[in-house]
Amino acid sequence: MQPLIDNARTFGQRPEEFARLAEGQSPEVLFITCSDSRVVPALITGARPGELFELRTAGNIVPPYASERPTGEAATIEYAVEVLGVRDIVVCGHSHCGAVGALVRGDDLDAVPAVRDWLAHATPRPAGAAEDPEVAEGVQSHVLTQLLRLRSYPCVERRVAQGLLGLHGWYYEVHTGAVRSHRPHTDAFEAL
């Protein structure tokens, strides 16, 4: 913790870099990814402050749209699309994902009921080789499920239909730094 505090103490020593951020934000991309500490969207993309709107959840799960029950995830997505007018949404899964691995293996999660119940949103359960530590196949199919889930959000579906919003599925390898993108015409994740 202490190194993080030390960095935070000195972070604001170049105020001229940040002054323009007081005027507002206009990020073009909503980046949805896992809470995993090995995934750092700004490092992967080179984004500067103000360039990426982020939603991070355990297992980069997009919960089903349910207008009768507010969720932080739905509020974040709706704000990004309707208020900020982002032009693209990236759902980025990653190798060695603990959440997706637990789903693929069917782990008993009764000791962590909040995790268990959150992961229950991830239907259909991603398939893949349970012995693969990268859970690549499971994560990639899981990303596609979350992209479909996004289309259940009325604001997303409307903007996609209008050609104002693009949806992208990414797969990030935490052990190499490589990023693959889902290509609809081949239905495969290929190098960016």
Output 62 or 99, the one with its CB closest to Zn ion: 99
Output 103 or 167, the one with its CB closest to Zn ion: 103
Output 30 or 165, the one with its CB closest to Zn ion: 30
Minimum gap (Å) between residue 144 Cβ and Zn ion: 16
Minimum gap (Å) between residue 123 Cβ and Zn ion: 17
Q: Report d(CA 172, CA 174) in Å as an integer.
A: 6
Q: Residue 23 class from Cβ within 10 Å (0-12 exposed, 13-18 middle, 19+ buried)?
A: exposed
Q: Residue 22 class from Cβ within 10 Å (0-12 exposed, 13-18 middle, 19+ buried)?
A: exposed
Neighbours of 85 (CB within 10 A): 13
Strands 179-183 and 52-57: unpaired
Output 95 or 165, the one with its CB closest to Zn ion: 95
**Pick from 179, 161, 158, 178: nearest CA to 170:** 179
Give CA 191 to chain center in angstroms: 18
Minimum gap (Å) between residue 60 Cβ and Zn ion: 7
Helix (H, G, I), strand (E, B) or coil at 75: helix
Output 63 or 81, the one with its CB closest to Zn ion: 63
Q: Footprint of Zn ion on this chain (CB under 5 A)?
A: 34, 36, 97, 99
Minimum gap (Å) between residue 93 Cβ and Zn ion: 7
